[in-house]
Structure formats: structure tokens, C-alpha cells
Amino acid sequence: MRALVKPTAAPGLELQEVPEPQPGPGEVKIRVLRAGLCGTDLHIEAWDDWAASMLRPPLTVGHEFYGQIVELGPGVPSQGGKYDLAEGMYVSVEGHVVCGVCRNCRAGRQQMCVQTSSLGVNRDGAFADYVVVPHSNVWVQPDIIDADLGAVFDPLGNAVHTTLQFQVSGNDILITGAGPIGVMATAIARHIGARYVVVTDVSDYRLALASRVGADHVVNVARERIESVQERLGMAEGFDVGLEMSGSPTAMSELIENCTHGGKIAMLGIPKEPFGINWGPVITRMLTIKGIYGREMYDTWYRMTFMMQTSETLRERVRSVITHRVPAEDWQDAFAAARSGECGKVIMDWS
């Protein structure tokens, strides 16, 4: 089968012919139909310090995907029960494989597992014709979710997890960073009833994507300050909720400065290096800052599926984040588009 492989501990990837994986006990074999590029994949391709610390090549990369079950390994529930799996089902997959025995796993906090193994990072991933995953990581998709939407459920889950941390309905929301997850968070905030949603970035291309999914105002912070937008919107005080999606120290600083007293900030964007925070306003304005990682397993999956099922508008807005669809054999074009910054979500077609 075809697989996009990190062959050695060096920059680059190779599309190779490799043996098809076979499902072991409790595992499921899936034929990959669509796969999305993530910033993680760009780090791996470039072989930066993070990638070098995490990967042990050779390894098939990729973790965001949608596909069809083609084989069940021994011990996978398949006797026709309500939640059993079957060949032919169309699925997305949670990419974090947890140990099941650490304190957090046993307490029902699997997303905080201290021994997480990540698909496409610590084990062979989904940029391939077939991939094998634990059956407990498989998320069966309803018919209303097509292949493109199913392929972005991983980053959509990040957006949903972050956006639902604090009360959004009826509040003013500031989102810093208009990458694909920030744009999806914009669509979610609009869907659940935010009053004003303002999005910042330094890319006019990506800010246009945020506008199309429901942002009331977008701010290119290379030219304009957030405070001026508050004045135009008639906001007497600052934002109630901030969603930090960029990993930028400057964005975090502006977010803190523009939150109302008692405001709440959810941080998903990971900075490239440590940075300082002015703790004075955090303390005196009694702000709450909470770090967010991945998706709650599996409450976030239920929530995003339910929301997508109930709104054609939301489905179309999330689908609009996909700006490039590339055949798998042209994977280099897909990576070039993702690196350019002039893109939303990039999807590779493996069908």
C-alpha cells in the first residue's frame, strides 16, 4: 500500500510502498479516504527540535482522517450490539491512544493520560491507504457527515473543546488567531449564540475565512488595535471570553488587556518558546486563564457531532474552512499550501 513515511531522522518525507497493517487484538483496520494536514505534520516534515524529540523513524505520519472499516481484529465487539462496530462503517478516529490504567484514565479523564501515544507521532499514522487503531478510538459517523467533514473532526474537536470551556451564549468573544481551528471556533461561537465575535490575526486571507463563518469583526493587528473595534461595536467594557489560538505572546498580551474584569481565557495555541505575562491585570481584574489540549474523550466528540447534525449552516461553515483538496500522490503540493499560510485546512484524498 501507499504510505507517507518519515524514513530517517532528517528533514523530508517519502511516499513509499509498505506492507498493509493487520489488526491485532482489540484493533480495527480502516481504509483511509480523506486526511487533513496539521501543524504537527509540518513540524515532522521539517524535522525541528520538537519532532526530533518525539519521533523514532521510520514512521507513517498523519492523524486527522476519515475512512471506512474493512476488518475487525480479535476481541472487537461485533455481535450486533448498539455500540458494536462492523465492516463498512464510516468513521473518524481520536488520535490520542491512552493507557487506560493511569490515575487520569481510571478517573475518566483520558485526555489527560500521562502515557498517551499519538497516532502519526508515536505509532504509524493515517497518511496511508490503510491504518490500524484501537477499536475504542473509533468514532462512527452519521450519514450526514461526509468525508471532508469527517476528516476535520480532530481539529474541530479542538475548537469545540476550547469554545465550550466558558459561557459563550450572550457574551462578547475575542478569538486571537484565525488558523483553521480559530475559524472553526468562530463558527461554533456564532452557532451557540455569542453576542459579538471578534477575530484577530496578521493574515488578511485567514481573516476573510473568519468573516465568512460569522465573525462580526476581524482585526489585522498589524494595522489596527482591538480597542478601536470595541468602541465601534459599542462595547462599554472588554470581552467576556477570550480564546487564544495563535500561540503568540503579543496576542496573549492584547487579549489580557482587552478582557473585562472577571473575564475568562481559554488557551489552545502552543507558543514556540516560553514568554512572560503581565500578571498585574490578571490579578487585579480577576481573570481566569485555562490551558486546553486536544478533545475531551469522548464528551467533545458527542457535542460536536450533535451540533453538526442540527445545523446545515454550521456544517457549511466548517466545510468552508477546507480551502485545498489534493490527491495523495501530490502530497508535496499539499504541504506547500499548508506552509504558505495562504490557506485554511488542507485535505489529501486517499480514496
User: 46-85 pLDDT, tens per residue?
Assistant: 999 999 999 999 999 999 999 999 999 999 987 778 889 9
Residues 69 and 172 in one domain: no
Q: What's the domain count of the chain? A: 2
CB within 8 Å of 271: residues ≥ 6 apart = 247, 248, 249
Report the pLDDT value the prediction gives residue 79, as an integer from 0 to 100.
75
Q: Do 146 and 168 sit in the same domain of this protein?
A: no
For the stretch 216-226, pLDDT in tens is 999 999 999 99
For 293-321, the pLDDT digits (tens) are: 999 999 999 999 999 999 999 999 999 99
The answer to whether position 311 is within a domain reads: no
**For residues 238-246, average pLDDT:** 97
Q: What is the mean pLDDT of residues 131-159?
A: 97
Is 222 in the same domain as 267?
yes
Predicted local confidence at residue 83, as pLDDT: 85
- Is the domain of 10 the same as that of 135? yes
Predicted pLDDT at 273: 87
What span, in angstroms and rounded, lies between the C-alpha atoms of 160 and 91? 19
Average pLDDT, the chain: 95
Same domain, 108 and 230: no
- Between the two ends of the chain, the Cα-to-Cα distance in Å is 12
- The residue whose grid cell reads 518525507 is 13
Q: How does pLDDT run across 253-302, given as a tens digit for each residue?
A: 999 999 999 999 999 999 988 899 999 999 999 999 999 999 999 999 99
Shared domain check, 277 and 175? yes
Instruction: Confirm whether 248 is domain-assigned.
Output: yes
The active-site residue out of 40, 200, 300, 305 is: 40
Entry pTM = 0.94
At which of 291, 310, 336 does a domain end? 291
pLDDT digits (tens, 9 = 90+) for 163-184: 999 999 999 999 999 999 999 9
* Residue whose C-alpha cell is 480495527: 28
* Contact (CB, 8 A) for 5 and 58: yes
217 is catalytic: no
Has residue 309 been placed in a domain? no
Residue 298 lies in a domain: no
Q: Where are the beta strands (DSSP E) in 73-212?
A: 90-93, 96-97, 117-118, 130-134, 138-140, 173-176, 197-201
Both 142 and 218 in a single domain? no
Is residue 172 within 8 Å of 65, Cβ to Cβ?
Answer: no
Residue with cell 461526509: 146
330 and 264 share one domain: no
Known catalytic residue at 300: no
- Segments forming the whole domain that contains residue 72: 2-152+321-349
pLDDT of residue 82: 83
Mean pLDDT of 94-117: 95
Do 198 and 218 form a contact (C-beta atoms < 8 A)?
A: yes
